Amino acid sequence: MFEGFELDFVDLSEARLRVRHGGKGPPVLLLHGHPRTHMTWGQVADRLAPSFSVVCPDLRGFGQSSHPADAPDHAGSSKRAKARDCIELMARLGHDRFAIVGHDRGSYVAFRAALDHPDKITKLAVLDGVPIVEALERCDARFAELWWHWFFFAQPEKPERAILADPVAWYAATPEFMGEEAYRDFRSATSDPATVYGMVEDYRAGLGIDRSHDEADRAAGRTIACPTLHLWSKRDDMELLYGDPLTIWRRWAPAVTGHAIDSGHHMAEEAPDELARALQRFLGD
């Protein structure tokens, strides 16, 4: 995976990000979710690289990127802060405007980047997520049963202690499923106390400051200006929880298009061909 890509550590004003970048053509930034690192994108990045300049960082708090400073409101782990990292990272790599793709927790960062920096984002693709405020306002017994981890991870100290007691049991994955190199990277991240803290802080920010940012944007009538694509995993919970998730996204991105991918949750690993084709069509239009 990542054939011909460079691996760098880039110092930004608020964070230090580990990043792989390569390919040629219009720039696209790929953002991973929990509990993955940028390595989850390897098979998709290889398929996009002949036509696009592909950038894959570890988000702040994940993988080998720097970890957020403690703050009572968890602002260092807010999606707004991570979106600022994205804008600065891409500028450092010579990309003033770019497309952005985010999966799972990365989808919230991509969404926030498009709202906060509309002059920088040419296209937005959000995978397996709806805006945080929309998810929380629809929370019912089914949501609590399926996505209980949102609320457990928001508690102080206990999530880290539980995860680190047996990371393999918490995060089921195999090298056959992920690839050897990606699996080693994943195991290293989920066994490191500082990284587990950073990953859990992302959820603490989600229930507080991130929700407040979404509420303020909705009250102000802000919407996504650039072309938007929503893809979701057919064998995950999106349709069960929301029916057609495009109905939710149309409030935020009136011209959104999208469809389901025949996959479980980690679509970049489970269905890289189908996902890469969908992204190529959208990014190339």
**What average pLDDT score do residues 236-261 get?**
96
Class of domain 6-284: alpha beta
Tokens of 119: 């002059």
Residue 285 has pLDDT above 80, yes or no: no
The predicted pLDDT at position 12 comes to: 98
Q: Which of 22-36, 78-92, 166-180, 186-200 has the lowest mean pLDDT?
A: 166-180
pTM listed for this prediction: 0.97
The predicted pLDDT at position 177 comes to: 80
Q: Both ends of the chain: CA-CA distance in Å?
A: 26
DSSP sequence for 174-204: -HHHH-HHHHHHHHHHHT-HHHHHHHHHHHH
The predicted pLDDT at position 259 comes to: 97
**What average pLDDT score do residues 195-199 get?**
97
Q: Is 26 exposed, middle or buried (0-12, 13-18, 19+ CB in 10 A)?
A: middle
- Give the catalytic positions in this structure: 104, 265
Q: Mean pLDDT of all residues in the chain?
A: 96
**What average pLDDT score do residues 34-40 get?**
96
The predicted pLDDT at position 198 comes to: 97
d(CA 8, CA 31): 16
Q: Are 265 and 32 in contact (CB under 8 A)?
A: no
- Residue 81: pLDDT band (50, 70, 90) is very high
The predicted pLDDT at position 244 comes to: 96
Express each pLDDT in 124-154 by its tens digit. Answer: 999 999 999 999 999 999 999 999 999 999 9
Residue 64 has pLDDT above 90, yes or no: yes
Q: Are 120 and 143 in contact (CB under 8 A)?
A: no
The predicted pLDDT at position 240 comes to: 94
Instruction: Write out the H or E segment, with its range, that includes residue 19.
Output: strand 16-23
Query: How does 151-173 read in b/e, with b if 16+ C-beta sit within 10 Å?
Result: eebbeeeebbebbeeebeeebeb
Residue 184 has pLDDT above 90, yes or no: yes
Query: How does 258-275 read in b/e, with b if 16+ C-beta sit within 10 Å?
Result: bebbebebbbbbbbbeeb
The predicted pLDDT at position 173 comes to: 84
Residue 178 has pLDDT above 90, yes or no: no
Instruction: Write out the H or E segment, with its range, that includes residue 257.
Output: strand 257-261
The predicted pLDDT at position 10 comes to: 98
Express each pLDDT in 87-112 by its tens digit. Answer: 999 999 999 999 999 999 999 999 99
The predicted pLDDT at position 69 comes to: 84
The domain spans of the chain are 6-284
C-alpha angle 83-87-91 in degrees, rounded to nearest 5 = 165
The predicted pLDDT at position 174 comes to: 85
| Amino acid occupying residue 144 | A
Q: 131: closest CA among 201, 41, 223, 67?
A: 223
Alpha helix stretches (DSSP H) within the chain: 42-48, 79-92, 105-116, 132-137, 141-146, 149-153, 158-165, 167-170, 175-178, 180-190, 193-205, 211-219, 238-242, 246-252, 267-270, 272-284
